[in-house]
């Protein structure tokens, strides 16, 4: 993933854009380091894959998490919440919850 980011994504990012992740490992372990003028947000389901899939098949969902790593635009949390669905979105502390 770092190679794809360097080759395909990083050259196309502009100031004020949001880089969105579905998992926090790449940011937490710094295998991807985003520019300082880009929002970095994680929006992810709080559940394992099989449970997420079974709830989706049954037209339901699981709680979602939003974590904001960097927010120079001031819109990071709002952008993440806009990509999640419903009242099940919860903010999490980036330093504590990326590993859960």
Annotated catalytic residues are 23
Q: Helix or strand or coil: residue 95?
A: helix
- Residue 81: both structure tokens together: 């919440």
Q: Give Dmax (Cα) for the chain.
A: 41
Provide the 8-state DSSP code for 38: S
Give CA separation, 17 vs 43, 52, 83, in Å: 15, 28, 14
Q: Helix or strand or coil: residue 67?
A: strand
């Amino acid at each position: 993933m770092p190679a794809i980011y360097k080759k395909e994504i990083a050259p196309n990012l502009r100031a004020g854009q949001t880089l969105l992740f579905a998992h926090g490992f790449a940011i937490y372990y710094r295998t991807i380091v985003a520019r300082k003028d880009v929002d970095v947000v994680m929006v992810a389901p709080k559940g394992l894959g099989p449970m997420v899939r079974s709830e989706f098949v049954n037209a339901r969902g699981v709680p979602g998490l939003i974590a904001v790593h960097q927010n120079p635009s001031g819109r990071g949390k709002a952008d993440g919440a806009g990509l999640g669905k419903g009242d099940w979105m919860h903010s999490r502390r980036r330093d504590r919850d990326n590993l859960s």
